[in-house]
Structures are given as structure tokens and as C-alpha cells.
Structure 1
Amino acid sequence: MADQIKIRAQINGDLTDIRVLMQHPMETGQRRDERGQSVPAHFIQTFSVLLNGKPMINGQLNTSVSKNPLFSFRAKGIKSGDKLAVTWTDNRGEQRQDEITLN
């Protein structure tokens, strides 16, 4: 199973700063290992950010995104006690979901 998604959120009045670190190798399929063998493509294809179970962001990634992608954004209307969840699915069908409750 993939490493935990790190979700950080800081509420500042009406705005909340959110940072999401999705730990994933994000291989392009174009790199070669030390023996000259192609390293198979392995990357996050889709991700979602949910607030209290409702979609806030739905995104698609590809091979051009670096290892362990970090996303940062701001949102309005989030309050203490809300649940923020992040999910992703990669090109091998692997999935990960993690959730935090905001303080």
C-alpha cells in the first residue's frame, strides 16, 4: 500500500490554506535503471479533494509531474470540525485515501 497522503490545513478567518503531499514514485516510463532496463510507467492519474464528502477538486495528472507531488491552494467557507479527504488512483489501479478533521 502507498504511503499516507499528508494533508495540512490552516484556517485564517474566511480563508483556509490547504497543502496536500501525495507520496508516489511518479515514474514516466522513459527512465532506465542501472542495468539499462526501462522503468515501467507508474503515476497518479486522478485525484480528488473532498470537503465533508462533497467534491471540491477533481484533477488529472500525467507523467510530467515530479515524484511526491505537492499541491497548495486556498478555499473559502471551511470551518473547524470539517472533514477534508484526498483520494488518488494511479495507472496501475492502486488507490489511496486519507482524511483529516480540521481544528
Structure 2
Amino acid sequence: MANSERVKVRIPSKAKKGEIIEIKTQLSHDMETGLRKDGAGKTIPRHIIARFTCTWNNEPVISSDWHQAVSANPFASFFALATSSGKIKLSWFDENGETLEYIHDIIVE
């Protein structure tokens, strides 16, 4: 599960069946390219989020591959069709094998 201090999410808790909802998320992450140097002149190791996915009841909503040109604290905004109540899962995968997840329950009436 994602650290709540690192993830900001805006997803409605309820939606009407057939409604198109907007999902907004921002992850607090430096997205180090491996090109910068610290104060001592040493290269800061590359550390980026390489992939972002969203599923609704385990069905894919969106999937994107990110590269070093993505800014620090990446923001994503997209739309989804409300079909059934359940869980929306946002996942961020970094190049070091770490995965951050945020799960949100939504009720579709």
C-alpha cells in the first residue's frame, strides 16, 4: 500500500452507473535521471517510476510507461466509465523493483 504522504488522489466515492468519472493522482517522487550531481560532485543514481497502471475490479483502465523525461512529482489525470462497485487500484512501478499501490473503494448506484 502506498504511503499516504507520498500519494495524492482525487477519486469520487460514489458514481452513477454509466457516469464518466475523473481520476486524478500525484505521486511525490524525485524522478532522478542519473544526470545530476550532488554537492560533492558525485552523480545522483537514476531512480524513476517506469510504469503506472490503474485497474477497476482487476480490469485495466489505463497503463502507461514513463521515462526519464517525466517531471518530478508526476501527475496523472484520466477518465473512467463507472460500471460496477468495487475497487480502483493505482500502481506505480519503479526501476528498482519497488511498487507503490493505492486502493480506493467506489460505490456505483
Normalising by structure 1, we get a TM-score of 0.84
Residue deviations 1:7-63 (CA, integer Å, cap 9, x gap): 211367611011011222210111111111111100001121010111111110011
2:51 to 46, 51, 63: 46
Label 1:21 to 1:78 Cα distance change in 2 as closer, same or farther (>3 A).
Answer: farther
Partner in structure 2 of residue 60 of structure 1: 65
Equivalent residue number for residue 69 of structure 1: 74
Q: Spell out, residue by residue over 1:66-90, the C-alpha distance to the aligned partner (whole angstroms, 9 max, x if none).
A: 11111011222355x4311111211
* Residue among 18, 22, 32 paired with 1:27: 32
SS at 2:11's partner residue?
strand
Report sequence identity in percent. Answer: 31
Aligned 8 A contact 1:49 1:84 in 2: yes
2:30–2:73 contact (8 Å) kept in structure 1? yes
User: Distance between the aligned counterparts of 2:38 and 2:50, measured in 1?
Assistant: 23
**Aligned CA distance change for structure 1 residues 7 and 82 (closer, same or farther; 3 Å):** farther
Name the SS of the counterpart of 2:79 in structure 1.
strand
Aligned residues: 102
Q: Where do 4+ consecutive residues of structure 1 move more than 4 Å? A: none
Moved more, 19-28 or 6-15: 6-15
Unpaired stretches in structure 2, ≥5 consecutive residues? none
Residue 6 in structure 1 maps to residue 11 in structure 2: no
